[in-house]
Amino acid sequence: VKHIQLLGTGRWNSPKLLERDSEYLDGAIFVDGFFLDSFYPEVREFIDGFYVAFGREPNWSEALAYDTAKIMVDLIRNGEVRTRADLRDGIGRLKDHPSITGSTSFSETGDVEKSLYLLMVRGKEIVQIH
């Protein structure tokens, strides 16, 4: 099949995707919540620091754990959190909090809203396009 746009999920974000027949995937687009080769400086800093501390690159769940801890520390540091209710309310007010796993907000119902990395297969590599 030619001249179609392939769209995928975060499960495509793996070097194994490009091991065979990558020419058929050139231009394919997919999203993910974390990207090791991100061009965002704060993501690069996190990955470098994690590597120095643990001798390996972080995975998605470790990046999410870092973001969760950072949100809590940021809320507590601002001095407005004295009780669990204050913490809950502070989390509820989060809007576009800069995070390694995407900008983080919470809806009125308490559901997390995160931006995703937009990724593309270009030749034999996966690149971030947004």
- Number of alpha helices (DSSP H) and beta strands (DSSP E) in the chain: 3, 6
pLDDT band at residue 1 under the 50/70/90 scheme: low
What is the 3-state composition of the chain as percent helix, strand, coil, each rounded to the nearest 5?
A: 40, 20, 40
pLDDT tens sequence across 56-101: 999 999 999 999 999 999 999 988 788 999 999 999 999 999 999 9
- Position of tokens 């209710």? 85
pLDDT at 32 over 90: yes
